[in-house]
């Protein structure tokens, strides 16, 4: 029997429910009656009790799905949507290559597949195009997988699907218009994003602005620095504030600051945009884009057997995904944050021991890497070096 008190519904396990049935049936069958699953009536009661346990489990599960700290899946989506916070959908990496061939050759989406010989990842032509009079055309290519499969400056592309009148492709990293892909935003990431947005209801104007910016598409991390002093402090002028933001749309961020800041307060930053109010008054509104510090990992693993390239690529993507969940502006990179992932994720199997795990910049290894107040560490998949021994 389902019971409840002032704290809510009291759930029971299978033994408790069977005992309850026994006590209820003793007036009918006698004080020595026990439920024996090998008897017809015992089998029926056991089936009823098992079904009741499932109902109790459901009752215990539902409240968790109404709590933002424990909800998951579509339940967490619903809670977040009430605060206008939405889960990031997966996105594929895209960038521009120059196609070389015979002028006026018509090409269609997916006509060309290229292989990056450095990463062994393939990309497909993502638009219709025509080779120009100079024998070239710039066109967008897209990775076949969701996630960050950004080509490196050393990437070397080879056409995998020969096309008549197409000779080769050329990659210019500096002008490749890279759009970095991402994986489907996991529950923990969405929950953290919502928790950062609770300042929306705060009486603090700056907290409210921060929460608005955090909820914008593409924003990964936000901090603000307020200077109430009469002199410059922490690089922020007197009586000013500075937002430091990683990601997001520049115009949306500036507009959120301009519309919501306290009148007379100064929004300082290295990115400055001119805004005009409804009375024609002109203001300079600034914020600072977080400086990206590219880091990598140097890892040596003891494994049950030397693993395939696909296994290594999966491990790198898992590390990157974990890194993005916990790394914020101004947060020091500590190696122990990332060694834990190798035991926390059951899909990463065959690792017997972590022998070396260091954070690195292009030239230096660190046990922990200090990050400046206005910087954010970014893990570059190409900078993850994994060696194995068994």
Q: What is the pLDDT of residue 100?
A: 97
Separation between Cα atoms, residue 317 and residue 321, nearest integer Å: 6
Residues in the chain: 390
What does the pLDDT profile of the chain (390 residues) look like in tens digits? Answer: 666 666 666 778 888 888 888 898 899 888 888 888 889 988 998 999 888 888 888 877 887 888 888 888 999 988 888 767 888 889 999 999 999 999 999 999 999 999 999 899 999 999 999 999 999 999 999 998 998 899 988 899 999 988 999 999 999 988 899 998 988 888 888 888 777 665 444 446 888 899 899 988 889 899 999 887 778 887 888 888 999 999 999 999 999 999 888 777 889 999 999 998 888 888 999 999 999 988 888 888 888 888 888 888 888 888 887 788 778 898 877 654 555 555 555 556 677 777 777 787 766 666 667 788 899 988 888 888 888 888
Q: What would the DSSP string read from start to end of 80-145? A: HHTTT--PPPPBEEEEEEEEEESTT-EE-TTS-EEEETTTTEEEEE-S-EE--TTSEEEEEEEEEE
At 11-38, the pLDDT tens digits run 788 888 888 888 988 998 888 888 888 8
Measured CA to CA, the distance from residue 220 to residue 189 in angstroms comes to 10
Residue range 202-289 in CATH 3.30.460: yes
The helix (run of H) or strand (run of E) holding residue 283 is strand 282-289
Domain boundary assignment for the chain? 3-65, 92-175, 202-289, 293-389
CA neighbor of 152 nearest in space, from 119, 104, 127, 177: 119
CA end-to-end distance (rounded Å), the chain = 57
Who's near 334: CB < 8 A, 6+ residues apart?
359, 368
For residues 288 and 242, the answer to whether their CB atoms sit within 8 Å is yes
* Gap between the Cα atoms of 81 and 194, Å rounded: 10
pLDDT per residue as tens digits for the range 197-230 = 654 444 468 888 998 999 888 898 999 998 877 7
pLDDT of residue 88: 86
The per-residue b/e assignment along 37-62, b for 16 or more CB within 10 angstroms, e otherwise, is eeeeeeeebbeebeebbeebeeeeee
Alpha helix segments (H runs only) across the chain: 14-29, 40-65, 73-81, 187-196, 205-214, 250-260, 309-326, 336-339, 341-344
CA dist 185 and 190 (Å) reads 7
pLDDT at 109: 96
The two three-digit tokens of residue 130, written as one number: 């025509």
């Amino acid at each position: 029997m389902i019971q409840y008190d002032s704290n809510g519904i009291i759930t029971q396990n299978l033994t408790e429910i069977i005992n309850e049935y026994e006590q209820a049936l003793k007036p009918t069958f006698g004080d020595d009656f026990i439920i024996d699953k090998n008897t017809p009536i015992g089998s029926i009661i056991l089936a009823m009790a098992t079904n009741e346990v499932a109902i109790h489990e459901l009752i215990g599960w539902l409240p968790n799905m109404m709590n933002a700290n424990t909800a998951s899946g579509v339940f967490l989506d619903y809670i977040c949507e009430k605060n206008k916070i939405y889960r990031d959908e997966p996105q594929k990496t895209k960038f521009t290559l120059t196609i070389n061939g015979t002028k006026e050759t018509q090409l269609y989406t997916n006509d060309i597949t290229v292989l990056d010989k450095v990463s062994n990842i393939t990309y497909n032509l993502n638009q219709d195009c025509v080779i120009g009079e100079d024998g070239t055309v710039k066109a967008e290519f897209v990775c076949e997988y969701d996630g960050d499969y950004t080509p490196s400056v050393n990437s070397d592309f080879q056409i995998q699907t020969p096309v008549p009148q197409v000779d080769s492709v050329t990659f210019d990293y500096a002008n490749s218009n890279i759009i970095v892909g991402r994986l489907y935003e996991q529950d923990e990431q969405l929950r953290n994003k919502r928790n950062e947005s609770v300042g929306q209801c705060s009486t603090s104007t700056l907290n409210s602005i921060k929460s608005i910016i955090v909820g914008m598409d593409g924003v990964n991390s936000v901090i603000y620095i307020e200077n109430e002093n009469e002199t410059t402090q922490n690089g922020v002028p007197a009586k000013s504030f500075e937002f430091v933001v990683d990601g997001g749309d520049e115009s949306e961020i500036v507009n959120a600051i301009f519309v919501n800041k306290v009148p007379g307060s100064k929004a300082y930053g290295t990115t400055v945009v001119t805004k005009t109010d409804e009375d024609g008054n002109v203001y300079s509104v600034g914020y600072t884009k977080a400086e990206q510090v590219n880091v990598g990992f140097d890892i040596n693993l003891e494994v049950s057997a030397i693993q395939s390239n696909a296994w290594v690529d999966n491990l790198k993507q898992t590390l990157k995904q974990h890194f993005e969940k916990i790394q914020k502006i101004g947060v020091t990179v500590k190696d122990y944050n990332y060694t834990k992932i190798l035991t926390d994720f059951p899909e990463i199997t065959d690792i017997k021991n972590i022998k070396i795990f260091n954070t690195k910049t292009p030239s230096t290894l660190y046990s922990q890497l200090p990050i400046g107040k206005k910087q954010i560490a970014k893990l570059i998949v190409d900078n993850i070096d994994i060696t194995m021994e068994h």
